[in-house]
Amino acid sequence: MQTGIPNIGIFSRAIAQKDIVHLKALLEALAQHHLHVVFYAPLLTNLRAYNLALDYPTFNDHSSLVAQADILISLGGDGTFLQTIPLIRDNHIPVVGLNLGTLGFLASIEPQYVRDAVHHLVSGRYYIENRNLLSLVQPQFDLVYPFALNDVTLFKAPEATMLHLEVFIDDSLLYRYYGDGLILSTATGSTAYNLSCGGPILVPNAAAFVLTPIASHALTTRPVVIADTSVIKIVPYAETYHLTVDSNKLTVKSPNPILLCKAPFTVQTIHFDPTMDNEPQRKSNFFHTLQQKLMWGQHGRK
Q: Give the catalytic positions in this structure.
A: 78
Among residues 297, 174, 296, the alpha carbon closest in space to that of 234 is found at: 174
Backbone angles phi, psi at 67, to 5 degrees: -75, -15
Bridge partner list, 143:
none
CB 32 within 8 A of CB 25: no
CB 26 within 8 A of CB 8: no
Question: Which positions ≥6 away from 129 have C-beta within 8 Å?
Answer: 204, 205, 268, 269, 271
Among residues 164, 153, 158, 6, the alpha carbon closest in space to that of 73 is found at: 6
CB 138 within 8 A of CB 259: yes
Per-residue CA distances from 302 to 295, 297, 298 (Å): 16, 13, 11
Question: Which positions ≥6 away from 41 have C-beta within 8 Å?
Answer: 58, 59, 60
CB 210 within 8 A of CB 194: yes
Which alpha helices (DSSP H) does the chain contain, by range?
20-32, 41-47, 62-66, 78-88, 114-123, 193-196, 285-294
At 152, which amino acid appears?
Answer: V
d(CA 125, CA 118) in angstroms, rounded, equals 10
